[in-house]
Amino acid sequence: MSMSSDPMILLWTLAKILVIAVPLIIAVAMYVWWERKVIGWMHVRMGPNKIGPFGLLQAFADVTKLLIKEIIIPTNANRFLYFTAPLLAVIPALAVWAIIPFDNGAVLSNANAGVLFLLAMTSLGVYGIILAGWASNSRYALLGAMRSAAQMISYEICMGMALVCVLILAGSLNFTAIVEAQAGGKGLFDWFWLPLLPMFFVYYISGVAETNRLPFDVAEGESEIVAGFHVEYSGSAFALFFLAEYANMILLSFLAPILFLGGWLSPFQGWHLGWFSQPGWWWLFLKFFIFATSLIWLRATFPRYRYDQIMRLGWKVFIPISIAWIFVAGLFKYFNVVTIGH
Amino acid sequence: MLAGYWPILLFLIVAGGIGVALIVIGWIAGPRRPSAEKYSPYECGFEAFEGARMKFDVRYYLIAILFILFDLEIAFLFPWATVFSKIGIVALVEMFMFLLLLVVGYIYIWKKGALEWD
């Protein structure tokens, strides 16, 4: 197609990309603020409350601080790879938003192979971490990178199998089609969480492990290996890892509703409750907010897992459940147990 | 057919631009005060007496190999999952046989102790 050669369409697409990327970066800042605030409340303290109303500008002050700090390059580090690593972490974390729909039709690229692109981008995230550990040439960094990489690839298998189950029911690799396949007169009981209930939990827990969040954050356990793969990074190079991690958490909190909880569909669809039964982006953002807050809640509630327990959970519990549920989902689809679409 | 994909490429370029821009801003705005101790690799209070690139437990490599196997299998399942309802019982049975073979291999690596971490 010659669309890309038209400068107006190019500029328009560029504008749309910024309309996604800039709010995403601001959302990361607000998410950090919300995380510190919620954890503060759970610890019965105030959380950030000095900078701006309710401490809202705290995250922006932190970003500014990071930007004016020295970027330290360890003497033994491989300088080129040392700077490639944070870029490799942040590029997939941002670019994956090209295929995430926010409402029916509100998506930058309604690509048919959206799920494949998602898998490709989440797989690339591992390279940033392992390169960071290797290029730093520091023991703690390398240990953290190895742990983190082994953990991420292990849980990627479970996530992939959960996606396969969704695809079996939806019959499409397109995210908009996946959401619309969950529409129906029974509202929230038509969504995929019900027939795929075990996979919903597998996907959510794997997502937490994939983003190296508590209780699966052995890769950066402060008391064991200080900060893991990014121990040598400082200033804006560290800020890029931070941005990537929180963008991935926000992504997880968007994907879980899109894949299993009907995306922008109303939980009361077909219940004749007027406005409450209408689909809309606000439903997706409400579900996103609940998931994003639940990630913080997990952090405040659970102690850190041991590394061998994490690997056992991934390989010996989730993978058998996933393989079994692929059979079940296949039979569901073949015998038309689950209604798809209207 | 590919028209829906070039915005993704553009997004990749913009994301790279954001990353490079942040590093460049930090490089320009941050101070630079060299000192040998500050630039040495992190250790718990002593000088690093050998390189960090040490030998690694073979289990990490084993996990990587197993990951490739399982990830490839998922790559095979993706196209099947999208179209199998249009092909019918043949696709269902064939993929179940493929998965059963995978389960046999999975039981084998479990029994061999490849998944143990202690």
State whether A60 and A96 are in the same domain.
no
Of all residues in chain A, the one with the smallest CA distance to B66 is A154
* CA A285 distance to own-chain centroid: 14
State whether A62 and A90 are in the same domain.
no
Q: What is the ipTM of this complex?
A: 0.87
Do B85 and A334 count as a contact with CB atoms less than 8 A apart? yes
Please give the Cα distance from A282 to A224 (Å, whole number): 42
Closest-CA distance, A75 to chain B, in angstroms, reads 6
Do A90 and B15 count as a contact with CB atoms less than 8 A apart? yes
Structure tokens at A172: 């499409």
State whether A153 and A253 are in the same domain.
yes
Q: Which of B26, B51, B71 sits opposite A137 (nearest CB)?
A: B51
- Which pTM does this prediction carry? 0.91
- Residue B86 sits at the vertex; the CA angle it makes with B85 and B89, to the nearest 5 degrees, is 60
- pLDDT above 80 (res B89): yes
Do A70 and B30 count as a contact with CB atoms less than 8 A apart? yes
Which H or E element spans position B61? helix B58-87
Do A156 and B71 count as a contact with CB atoms less than 8 A apart? yes
Per the domain annotation, does A340 fall within a domain? no
Closest-CA distance, B116 to chain A, in angstroms, reads 7
Do B23 and A237 count as a contact with CB atoms less than 8 A apart? yes
State whether A42 and A92 are in the same domain.
no
Among A39, A68, A97, the domain boundary falls at: A68
Range name among A134-138, A185-189, B16-20, B43-47 with the lowest pLDDT average: B43-47
Q: Which residues of B touch A94 (CB under 8 A)?
A: 11, 14-15, 18
Closest-CA distance, A116 to chain B, in angstroms, reads 8
Q: What is the pLDDT of residue A20?
A: 92
State whether A26 and A60 are in the same domain.
yes
Q: What is the pLDDT of residue A222?
A: 66
**Considering only residues 239 to 258 of chain A, which have any Cβ-Cβ distance to chain B shorter than 8 Å?**
239-240, 243
Q: What is the pLDDT of residue A308?
A: 85
Q: Give how many domains chain A has, as a whole number.
A: 2
Q: What is the pLDDT of residue A36?
A: 93
More confident residue, A160 or B5: A160
Which residues constitute the domain of residue A97? 78-334
Question: Are A316 and B115 spatial neighbours (Cβ–Cβ below 8 Å)?
Answer: yes
Per the domain annotation, does A33 fall within a domain? yes
Structure tokens at B107: 């039981």
Q: Is A204 on the interface with B (CB under 8 A)?
A: no
Q: Which residues of B touch A226 (CB under 8 A)?
A: 42
State whether A297 and A208 are in the same domain.
yes
User: What residues of chain A score a pLDDT lower than 50?
Assistant: 1-2
The 8-class DSSP code of residue A325 comes to: H
**Residues with Cβ < 8 Å from A5, sequence gap 6 or more?**
none
Alpha helices (H) along chain A: 7-42, 58-67, 79-95, 114-136, 139-170, 175-180, 197-210, 222-225, 235-260, 281-301, 307-312, 319-334
pLDDT digits (tens, 9 = 90+) for B64-87: 899 998 988 888 888 888 888 788
State whether A240 and A278 are in the same domain.
yes
Of all residues in chain B, the one with the smallest CA distance to A116 is B78
Q: Which residues of B touch A318 (CB under 8 A)?
A: none
State whether A108 and A18 are in the same domain.
no
Q: What is the pLDDT of residue A71?
A: 87
Do B41 and A139 count as a contact with CB atoms less than 8 A apart? yes
Q: What is the pLDDT of residue A26?
A: 93
State whether A63 and A83 are in the same domain.
no
Domain boundary assignment for chain B: 2-112
- Write the CATH number of the domain with boundaries B2-112: 1.20.58.1610
State whether A277 and A227 are in the same domain.
yes
